[in-house]
């Protein structure tokens, strides 16, 4: 299945917007709040700082692809 360049860009834009919203939500949280990551069918507790770093890395990667 071949995606056109515009379809790929649209998909990356959507992913970037989604990650920006996640970052805003994580920025609201305090260190004592619990954060969970969905891995397959399981929710796994994750450190807030680690979650923020993962989102930042994802956003950097998406921006580099655009």
Predicted local confidence at residue 3, as pLDDT: 74
Query: Average pLDDT for consecutive 10-residue bins of the chain (66 residues)?
Result: 83 97 97 94 96 97 93
Predicted local confidence at residue 1, as pLDDT: 58
Give the pTM. 0.81
DSSP letter string over 4-51? PHHHHHHHHHHHHHHHHHHHHHHHHS-TTS-EEEEETTEEEEE-HHHH
Q: What are residue 46's DSSP bridge partners?
A: 35
Q: Which domains does the chain have, with CATH numbers?
A: 1-65 (1.10.287.370)
Q: Of 46, 63, 55, which Cα lies nearest the Cα of 24?
A: 55
């Amino acid at each position: 299945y071949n995606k056109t360049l515009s379809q790929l860009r649209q998909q990356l834009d959507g992913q970037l917007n989604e990650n920006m919203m996640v970052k805003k939500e994580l920025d609201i949280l305090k260190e004592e709040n619990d954060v969970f990551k969905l891995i397959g069918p399981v929710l796994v507790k994750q450190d807030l700082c680690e979650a923020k770093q993962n989102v930042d890395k994802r956003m950097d990667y998406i921006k580099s692809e655009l």
